[in-house]
């Protein structure tokens, strides 16, 4: 696996690769027309290809490459846009097996740790298909980690509606503490668990006996379904006053006393080590997750974290209007989430909000679905032209109109609703908006090309954020730490898990 030196070298290479693209990744489509970003940020070779081939022909080449990356005809291999995607992919985690394990490689590694195999029912009731898939795969990995490290408890930070936690405790009889800062999530998770317990036996029976087929909606089976062993264990633990599943509403930072919360939640338990897990921990919570693990190595035997919402990360060396407003409203004292490693902190490295927003994009989905949702982007850039004209040269204040375009049938409707929402006091007519749309429509394909070029860079930005986190763990002495792609990125774009296994048995002890 990667060493600190290898991680530093890869971070250096990523930064070097991204440097020429900094104007592009720091741009925002809102100002695409007003700031002439096509000429000012898009590389010349990509603009030239657009001018000679046209957007539709270029994207057809990209789709062909996606269908068969190994068969590069001259027209495909000579396409600057295709080469742009290829070069960016080379810099990302999936192209570097020394940095990132596939799910199969992860299973092989866990098998070498003498993990037991587990079966996990794919039960989708009370959750979406995407969430069911994520919980199923994540549960398998958690169970393997528990088997490898002999943990007695699991702490799920940022548990949300506790889909993962309730599945681990109800189906696999693990003692799980789910912590979330939102009381509504905690309350909703408790209600969901009650519904889940009521239907669990039927769900388990149907999952294990799919050949019986579906009956009419009014059909009732006369066969008594036996209580599943896992259900009996779960209910018996509740009846004995020591339930397997506990919840806590708490705002978590790196200084939170997790040991105390765990003891308080499971009084009287002998805690022979715990696992720290997080499924799509949002923004700064992912970095807090890693810091908590490092600061509580006497408690935690393994870490399994999948982060998300990179745009909500607070950076140490970059001023962010978004975070300044959050701090003013909440008195938030959490530590910055990026960078984490001493290597990047010593350089005072920063990304800023727009590149972090770009890191959340999914080129895999774009290439798979071949669908660009760029009409809302075009509408928003046109709206900015209108606002600039109506402000008489003054800087128009920062404004957010949200996903208004998805609720509108044309630009005129969108613009009228937008100016009302933001309180523009100038007169705007439908004729004026129609003329604006016609005058700038030639920018639409350019915006689509602009979007694709930027999306191609998103895996590099995400990889940089994740490698910084991984290097932090290595710098802290947790060297059995690695990244694994455990989800299909088309089904779940935030697919990378940071995994750490504590091997130093001398740290073991009863908590």
pLDDT tens digit at each of 511 positions of the chain: 679 999 999 999 999 999 999 999 999 999 999 999 999 999 999 999 999 999 999 999 999 999 998 877 888 989 999 999 999 999 999 888 889 999 888 888 877 776 665 555 555 556 788 998 999 999 999 999 998 899 999 999 987 788 899 889 888 889 999 998 765 555 555 565 666 666 555 555 565 555 555 555 554 555 544 544 544 454 445 434 448 889 888 888 888 888 899 999 999 888 889 999 999 999 999 999 999 999 999 999 999 999 999 999 999 998 776 555 555 444 455 789 999 999 999 999 999 999 999 999 999 999 999 988 899 999 999 999 999 988 765 556 567 888 899 999 999 999 999 999 988 888 899 999 999 999 999 999 999 999 999 999 999 999 999 999 999 999 999 999 999 999 999 999 999 999 999 875 544 444 4
Phi, psi of 205 (to 5 degrees): -65, -45
- The pLDDT value recorded for residue 238 is 47
Per residue, the 3-state secondary structure of 219-239, as one string, reads CCCCCCCCCCHHHHHHHHHHH
CB 259 within 8 A of CB 184: no
Place of tokens 């062993």: 229
CA distance 1 to 493: 24
- pTM for the full model? 0.88
pLDDT for 509: 43
Q: Which residues, including other chains, have CB under 8 Å from residue 19's CB and lie 6 or more apart?
A: none
End-to-end CA separation in angstroms for the chain = 31
DSSP 484: E
- Edge-to-edge strands, sheet with 245-249: 100-101, 481-485, 496-501, 300-308, 274-282, 153-157, 175-180, 245-249
pLDDT for the residue 220 = 52
- Going by the DSSP 8-state scheme, the letter that residue 423 receives in this structure is T
What 3-state class would DSSP assign to 454? helix
The whole-angstrom separation of Cα 375 and Cα 394 is 27
pLDDT score, position 364: 95
Contact 164, 156 (CB under 8 A): yes
Q: Give the Cα separation of 244 and 254 in Å (integer).
A: 26
**CA gap 162, 147 in Å, rounded:** 22
Cβ atoms of 417 and 399 closer than 8 Å: no
Q: Given this model, what pLDDT does residue 390 score?
A: 86
Dump pLDDT digits (tens) for 85-103: 999 999 999 888 889 999 8
pLDDT tens per residue, range 451-497: 999 999 999 999 999 999 999 999 999 999 999 999 999 999 999 99
d(CA 410, CA 72): 39
pLDDT the model gives residue 71: 76
Cα 283 to Cα 337: distance, rounded to the nearest angstrom: 7
As a residue count, the chain comes to 511
């Amino acid at each position: 696996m990667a060493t600190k030196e290898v991680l530093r070298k890869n971070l250096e290479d990523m930064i070097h690769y991204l440097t020429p693209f900094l104007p592009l990744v720091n741009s925002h489509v809102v100002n695409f027309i007003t700031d002439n970003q096509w000429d000012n940020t898009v590389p010349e070779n990509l603009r030239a290809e657009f001018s000679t081939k046209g957007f539709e022909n270029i994207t057809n080449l990209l789709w062909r490459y996606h269908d068969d990356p190994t068969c590069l005809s001259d027209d495909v291999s000579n396409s600057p846009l295709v080469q742009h995607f290829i070069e960016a992919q080379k810099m990302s985690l999936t192209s570097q097996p020394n940095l990132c394990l596939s799910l199969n490689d992860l299973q092989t590694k866990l098998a070498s740790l003498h993990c037991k195999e587990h079966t996990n029912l794919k039960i989708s009731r009370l959750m979406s298909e995407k969430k069911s898939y994520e919980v199923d795969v994540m549960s398998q990995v958690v169970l393997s980690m528990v088997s490898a490290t002999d943990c007695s408890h699991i702490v799920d930070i940022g548990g949300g509606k506790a889909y993962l936690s309730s599945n681990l405790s109800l189906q696999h009889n693990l003692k799980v503490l789910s912590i979330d800062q939102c009381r509504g999530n905690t309350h909703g998770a408790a209600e969901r668990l009650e519904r889940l317990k009521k239907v669990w036996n039927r769900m388990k029976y149907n999952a294990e006996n799919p050949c019986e087929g579906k009956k009419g909606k009014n059909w009732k089976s006369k066969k008594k379904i036996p209580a599943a062993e896992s259900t009996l264990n779960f209910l018996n633990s509740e009846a004995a006053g020591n339930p397997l599943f506990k919840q806590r509403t708490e705002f978590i930072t790196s200084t939170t006393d997790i040991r105390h919360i765990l003891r308080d939640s499971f009084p009287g338990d002998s805690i022979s080590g715990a696992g720290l897990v997080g499924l799509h921990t949002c923004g700064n919570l992912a970095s807090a997750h890693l810091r908590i693990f490092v600061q509580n190595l006497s408690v935690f035997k393994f870490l399994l974290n999948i982060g998300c919402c990179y745009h909500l990360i607070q950076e140490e060396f970059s001023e962010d209007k978004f975070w300044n407003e959050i701090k003013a409203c909440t008195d938030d004292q959490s530590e910055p989430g990026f960078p984490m490693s001493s290597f990047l902190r010593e350089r005072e490295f920063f990304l800023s909000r727009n590149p972090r927003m770009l890191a959340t994009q999914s080129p895999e989905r774009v290439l798979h679905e071949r669908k660009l949702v760029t009409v809302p982007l075009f509408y928003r850039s046109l709206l900015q032209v209108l606002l600039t004209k109506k402000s008489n040269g003054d800087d128009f204040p920062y404004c957010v109109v949200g996903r208004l375009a998805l609720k509108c049938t044309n630009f005129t409707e969108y613009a009228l609703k937008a100016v009302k929402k933001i309180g523009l006091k100038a007169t705007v007519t439908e004729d004026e908006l129609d003329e604006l749309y016609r005058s700038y429509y030639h920018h639409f394909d350019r915006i689509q090309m602009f979007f694709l070029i930027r999306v191609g860079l998103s895996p590099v930005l995400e990889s940089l954020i994740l490698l910084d986190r991984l290097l932090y763990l290595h710098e802290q002495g947790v060297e059995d730490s690695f990244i694994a792609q455990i989800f299909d990125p088309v089904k779940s774009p935030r697919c990378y898990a940071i995994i750490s296994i504590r091997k130093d048995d001398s740290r073991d002890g009863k908590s």
